[in-house]
Structure 1
Amino acid sequence: MTFNPLEQRGIPLDRQVRNWRELNVTPIDPDRADPYTRCRIITMNGIEVEASLFSHQFARHCPDAEVRRQLAQTRYIEQQQQKAVNWLLPGLASVLETTIAYEQVAVDLTAWVARMEPDPYLKQAYQFGVLEDFDHLYRYANLYEMIEHRKAEVVVDGLTEVMPGRPTKFHHRDPVDNVRDPYDRTTANPLSKLHALTIMSAEQQTMNFYMNVGPEYMEPIARQLYQEIGLVEEEHVTHYESLVDPGETWWEQLVNHEYNECYLYYSFMEQESDPRVKAIWELHLNMELEHLRIACDLMRRHDGREPEQVVAPELPNVLTFEPNKAYVRELLDTQIDLTTLGAGYVREAHERFERMQEAINGGEQPPSERIIDEHRAMYQGGEYRAQTEGEHPVPALRG
């Protein structure tokens, strides 16, 4: 069954404000909830945060007071949505447990997008990034066992493997080599636009999460690991945001944001296993349909274009959280030793890469390596992994 959000009517904006009782959602049970329910929550939190940040930036660059008032009205509802979504996360879960879930989102969301992306250049960008998030999951899993004496398996529940990816120490690149070539807004597949906006938003939320929670730890190695991976997330946001065509007008971007929210809420409503959470996805979808209608009207009035010129006439197949073990293992076998050079990818440790490695590591082991050494010392020579079968070598970049 096709679903065209451009033809649907949602809840009128003046009926969307919720009171405190309605916003006081009951969080999921961290020990009994479907891990992918938590992944969907984390994803939609990132999407709503991006919606709010984009709206604020739009307002700061818009001279039309009436448009700014319209953005403020919609943005308030987006902020209520963000509070309802993010407050579904359980207070019982530790920061590290939530971190493990963030990295599970990064692995399985990015891997699914890479599998479905129709543009080969954009596909490569997602394939490259997922191997780095995969390694972050492994590093945090070892920290989790050291500090909380629990295994990441209780969080990912066998849906996502925990083992080394492209080593985090190789993620530190010259910033100019994190900037990719953008898609062409006039010819890009509408699905490619949704993918880029989704992954950019998810990585941005991860970056913000780590920069805020990292200093809350007392253990020096924990503080240092969050600092290191937080800087890599800055690289990832640069990597993904540069895929978006900077020639898109503010009105076009607004429509893309609202359409993407409809796409994701619809996708997650279709697959959600928790009836209570599913009801929230459905409610928010009906709110977003009205936000999309408003954005489309603004684009018609101020950009002189119809939304059909920008977005697909119907939603694509639903975005799905599902295991991607075989796909990630294939990438481990074929792409683990890649790095970036300009807007492309190479297997050689080129001069700019080596210069950055020396500048940030200074000849010392970074926290991401020391966490494994400390785990081995604590657990008599072993490190934490949770995988289905077999081992994978971890090659270095060729010099």
Structure 2
Amino acid sequence: MAFNPLDHRGIPLDRQVRTWRELDVEPIDPDHADPYTRCRIIAMNGIEVEALLFSHQFARNCLDMDVKRRLAEVRYLEHQQQKVVNWLLPGSASALETTIAYEQVAVDLTAWVARMEPDAYLKQAYNFGVLEDFDHLYRYANLYEMVQRRKAEKIVDGLTEVIPGRPTKYHHRHPADNVRTPYDRTTTAPISKLHALTIMAAEQQTMNFYMNVGPQYMEPIARQLYQEIGLIEEEHVTHYESLVDPGETWWERLVLHEYNECYLYHSFMETESDRRVKAIWELHLNMELEHLHAACDLMRAYDEREPEEVLGPELPAPVTFEPNKEYLRELLDTQIDLTTLGEGYVREAHERFEAMQEALHGGEEPPSERVIDAHRESFGDDYRLAAR
């Protein structure tokens, strides 16, 4: 049934502050939870963190004290939501186990968005990036077996394949070649704007996570692999954030952020298999409805526009975590040898690409290759989990 957040009211803002007891949610069971429940938690945490960072940036660029106070009020409530969402992850899971789940999110969320994206140029941007996340999952899975003597299939549960993608060592490009042409805010479909915001947020959270957990490992190869892939996540954030039209006003972007939160919470409420987690998605959706209305009021007052000018008449079909094995296999067959040049894609190595490779690798194998070599030395082969 069609759902338009603008037609519904939620929990009033002055009733949304929760007590410590309410914030202290029970985490999911790492050994028995649906892997896609974990994926939804990680994805939603990224969405909440992006909303918070955007609100802070808006406040730092705003002179109106009334607006700053309203942003602060909603932002505090969003922080409580973020704490609940991220604290659903089990403390018993290692950082590396969570990392593998992060890459499962990147693979299956980006692949789903690419499948659903109506704009051919944006679709290609997602297709290009997902093959790199796919390879990161493979590299971390090999590290996981070496460091913790466990297999990644325990985490991904066969829903996502663990096989080589575009080799990680070829992901290092000149920064100028990571900048894409933005969509046109006046002509781009609302669903495309939500897709761009969602993938940007997910990749940004992955980048932030690796920047912080990478040096916590003692094993040199683990520290080195996080450092390498962390640099690539910076490239991915540049790649995806450049797709967003910088001509969108602050008010327009505020409304889109709140609307996207409604979209994701509604999607996950509709598709969640864990009843307890589903109840949290429903609660947060009812909070976000009021956050959206507050943003719309600001847009009307300060941008002198109606939110319907930038939003669709109803939410799109729910975002769904599901296997994308056939789709990814097709991309592996047709796009594994792509790199970027300027704002487009090419199959041949070019001068800037080769210069960056030489400057970074210095003629040596990077950590992403050495981790596979080390796994083969220890176990006789690399770790893979292909479709059954």
What is the TM-score of this pair, normalised by structure 1?
0.97
CA distance in 1, matches of 2:215, 2:311: 41
Question: Which residue in 2 is equivalent to 1:299?
Answer: 299
Question: Which residue in 2 is equivalent to 1:130?
Answer: 130
Offset of residue 49 of structure 1: 0.4
CA distance in 2, matches of 1:18, 1:358: 53
Residues 71-220 of structure 1: matches in 2 within 5 Å?
Answer: 71-220=71-220
Question: Which residue in 1 is equivalent to 2:244?
Answer: 244
CA distance in 2, matches of 1:71, 1:282: 23
CA distance in 2, matches of 1:13, 1:388: 47
CA distance in 2, matches of 1:17, 1:170: 47
CA distance in 2, matches of 1:239, 1:388: 29
Instruction: Kindly indicate whether residue 387 of structure 2 is the aligned counterpart of residue 388 of structure 1.
Output: yes
Offset of residue 259 of structure 1: 0.2
SS, match of residue 345 in structure 1: strand
Question: Which residue in 2 is equivalent to 1:311?
Answer: 311
CA distance in 2, matches of 1:166, 1:67: 45
SS, match of residue 340 in structure 1: strand
Deviation digits for residues 48-75 of structure 1, max 9, x if unmatched? 0000000000000000000000000000
CA distance in 1, matches of 2:326, 2:313: 33
CA distance in 2, matches of 1:20, 1:362: 52
Give the length in aligned residue pairs: 388
Question: Which residue in 2 is equivalent to 1:49?
Answer: 49
SS, match of residue 301 in structure 1: helix
Offset of residue 317 of structure 1: 0.5
CA distance in 1, matches of 2:357, 2:165: 18
AA partner of residue 238 (structure 1): T
Question: Which residue in 2 is equivalent to 1:277?
Answer: 277
Deviation digits for residues 345-377 of structure 1, max 9, x if unmatched? 000000000000000000000000000000000
Instruction: Kindly indicate whether residue 291 of structure 2 is the aligned counterpart of residue 287 of structure 1.
Output: no
SS, match of residue 257 in structure 2: helix
SS, match of residue 88 in structure 1: coil
Offset of residue 388 of structure 1: 1.4
Across the aligned residues of Structure 1 and Structure 2, the Cα RMSD in angstroms comes to 0.4
Percent identity, aligned pairs only, is 81
Task: Please identify runs of 4+ aligned residues in structure 1 that moved more than 6 A.
Answer: none
Offset of residue 115 of structure 1: 0.2
Question: Which residue in 2 is equivalent to 1:392?
Answer: none
Structure 1 residue ranges without an equivalent (≥5): 390-399
Offset of residue 313 of structure 1: 1.3
CA distance in 1, matches of 2:303, 2:358: 48
Question: Which residue in 2 is equivalent to 1:12?
Answer: 12
Offset of residue 128 of structure 1: 0.2
AA partner of residue 105 (structure 2): V
CA distance in 2, matches of 1:388, 1:205: 28
Instruction: Kindly indicate whether residue 344 of structure 2 is the aligned counterpart of residue 347 of structure 1.
Output: no
